[in-house]
Amino acid sequence: MKETEEKITAGTQSSSIVIGIGASAGGLEALQQFFSYMPPNSGLSFVVVQHLSPDYKSLMADILGKHTEMSVCQAENRMAVEPDTVYLIPPKKYMTIKDGRLILSEAPGSLNHPIDAFFASLAAEKREHSIAVVLSGTGSDGTNGVKMVKEHGGLVIAQAPESAKFDGMPRSVINTGLADFVLSPEEIAEEILNFSNTPVLLRPLRGDSLLTDDDSLFSEEETLSHIYTILKNASGIDFTYYKRSTILRRIERRMLVTHTSSLPEFARLLGDSQEEVNTLVKEILIGVTNFFRDPAFFEKLKYNAIYKIVERAKEDEPIRVWSAGCSTGEEAYSIAILFQEVMDELQVKRDVKIFATDVDSRAIEQAGKGIFSENIIDDVTPDRLAKFFLKVGDQYHISKSIRRMIVFATHNMFSDPPFGKLDLISCRNVMIYFQPVMRRGLFAIFHSALKNGGFLFLGKSETAGEYVNLFKPVCSAEKIYLHKAEGKVEDLAPPTFSIPNIQNISLKNIHAGMSQNSESAVESRYTRFLERYLPASVVLSENDTVLHFFGSYSDYLTLAPGKATLNFFQMLCKDLSLVASTAVSRCRTEHTAITYTDIAVDTPSGRKVINLLVEPIPGQEGDDELVSVLFLESGAPEEAGGVVEKYDLDATAARRISDLEREFQVSQNDLRSTIQRLETVNGELQAANEELLTANEELQSSTEELQSVNEELYTVNTEHQLKLDELTTMTNDLSNFLSSTMIGILFVDGDLNIRKFTEYVGREFQLMEHDVGRPIQIFAHSFPDEAIESDCRTVLRDLVSIDREVTAMNGRFYTLRIAPYRTTENSIRGLVITIIDSLGTSPRSEP
């Protein structure tokens, strides 16, 4: 970071800025417009990465050269990047930039993204002095690249979709939310010039102080504190202990974008614009992540950590993982995929729970959807795409089995309580934004949250080397550490977490939720009256849950110990269990009231003899089938109708057993039939799924190839159309020249057939327009003494021109010239016969 800061100097920034321009179908027109507005002496360097056809010679250099005075050339390997120069990618090549030179390599045979490759190298090479511009094109090439540019502090500009012939590529960049500007090609040129000519607004830090151009240190520090307060009020995040250099770079970038010239002016803008506050928060919390970022690191994680976690985990013991700072979720999904692969390879099942958290609620919301653009094919292998993703249109949806492993939540790791008993913590490229005091607190959190023998996975620019007593390196290069719970480090304590106090919940809200209108109050009064005077009874739902209690039911129903439940049979007195289950079953089967009489029951108030009445409650069609159960203590049954039987234990038990056996047999037959049908359907679905997967992969591959070919052909067609326009103009110029000159010119081919002639020579050979294509021998001419046909054959044979003066029948003197017609390839394609009036009235004397 310090190295980057030292490179920033006061004055203009243009001297070292490189602009990478990505374009595809329709991009040639946008490039012409862009360079027409870009002055030739800006001091900037431009590298154009266009999708080109590998089978056609590119005319891009000639075409763009007509729209700019800058030098336009096709890049060569290890060519130095100079200012005021436009470099074009050659066909069939990948191009990157390193140490100020362009590096060319062979393009891969499969679908490739040359714009992403160049943008990624540009971000690493030029960092905040890089500008990525995405112009017209289809697909998503460039989207992953601008993420890298943005992460390294560069500027990202997308062409406005309404000004692009094909808006696929610009819109893909815009959808990431990373574009600083969305402009037309003319406006892009203007904004780049403004960016390159703007002085550095905030100079580097010295220690922990901010220096500005006017050296008003105290006021600037106060202004920065005010900005921190505004951001905290808007997001709930205190950025005070984030890296000052990072914060200042993000603020300076927003100052450039909003055209504010000083920190106080920008602070006033933040105070007036909530949208700008939200944008700055998003810029500071910028989450740039990919699936399996640093693939070699994730492979090491799989075989050196995840395998061990799964192997040692018990079947009934959940595996707990924390993905801290997960951004839009790619990292969490990558870890879930690795766990699923390991379980498949070991042929075991474990309950894996991944807690994926981030302070950015918008990123968490996007992560929870599990939907990603097609540019993930650059990071996810085809096998993983087919197994763990479902392609819907031009998007990929994560599979449900992977999504179920992950719980996404908004979480501030410094103020919210951490997770505990963790087997793995992945916190990659998060600590690089924190000051040392926050990093120390973060390691204390990890120490308290991890199990003994748990693993810590950091980013490649981060290390736990300062805490070797707590975290033992497993793979040092890949930043994988083993946690040692017994380790001690002095003064390493996690921060104090704020836990919401339940007593602070407003009673006003509770009363508001429980308020009733006057009508419901009257209904409640009637219900209380009925509950007091009705016999002991309950209303049951279809699944035997008690919906309502009436009367003095406590002698027959009690709450069972353990987990609370309202299931009727778990609360029912044991003496009534058999008769009640039989009665309820018969009531639902026969759809009539069932009454059993003379049932002896031991209750808390003594032994009683009761009647049990189970009756269906009528309702409208489609309503739930409710039943009422009444415990009647009177000697005679109520007049409920239906079936009335005296309770006999043996007979009731036998009947109940018979009913259960019959239900079991029916259920078993249904289950067997269902299993058979499911097996058949599953076999058919599996076969169909395999066919669809194969067809989908073939179609996807074909679609991508056709899309790439279509873009290349569109570019070639555009170049050829421009050349055709030039040739048409040239043809018109030549036609006008030939028709206006007083020189007679006649073009004939190798067989002496007429190809073209001027009006002047047409009079001497009596030619008309429809004579084109006819042999010259059949036409009379005005030079009876000349053997023009014979001279033509001589010139065709010897390839030596003939020049001499000739006399026409009208007595005028002409100079006759017969010369070979040579092409640019130096081949002979006929003759050119020229007749020039000598402007004399008498012949020259012969030598």
Active site residues: 24, 51, 141
CA distance 60 to 57: 9
User: At 828, which helix (H) or strand (E)?
Assistant: strand 828-837
Amino acid, res. 458: L
Sign of CA dihedral 299, 305, 311, 317: negative
Q: What is the DSSP string of 512-555?
A: HHH---HHHHHHHHHHHHHHHHSPSEEEE-TTSBEEEEESS-TT
d(CA 542, CA 585): 11
Please tell me the number of Cα atoms within 13 Å of 496 on its side-chain side: 2
Q: Which has the closest alpha carbon to 145: 135, 159, 156, 137?
A: 156
Number of helices followed by number of strands (H, E) in the chain: 25, 33
What gap in Å lies between CA 34 and CA 640, rounded to an integer?
90
Beta strands in 710-787 (DSSP E): 744-748, 754-757
Phi, psi angles (nearest 5°) of residue 157: -130, 135
- Residue 431 gets which letter from DSSP? G
For residue 845, the 8-state DSSP code is P
For 639, counting Cβ atoms within 10 Å of its Cβ (0-12 exposed, 13-18 middle, 19+ buried), the class is exposed
Please report how the helices 27-37 and 185-197 are oriented relative to each other, as an axis angle in degrees rounded to 10.
Answer: 40
529 CB neighbour count, 10 Å cutoff: 10
What is the number of residues in the chain? Answer: 847
Tokens of 39: 């002055």
Please provide residue 491's backbone torsions phi and psi, each rounded to the nearest 5 degrees.
60, 25
> E strands within 721-825?
744-748, 754-757, 802-807, 813-822
- Report the C-alpha gap between 757 and 765 in whole angstroms: 10
Beta bridge partners of 322: 355, 425
- The rounded distance, in Å, linking the Cα atoms of 766 and 809 is 13
Q: Any idea what DSSP says for residue 304?
A: I
Closest to 91 measured CA to CA, from 47, 48, 57, 45? 57
Determine what percent of the chain falls in helix, strand and coil, rounding each to the nearest 5.
45, 25, 35
Query: What angle, 0 to 180 degrees and rounded to 10, lies between the N-to-C axes of helices 574-590 and 649-740?
Result: 60
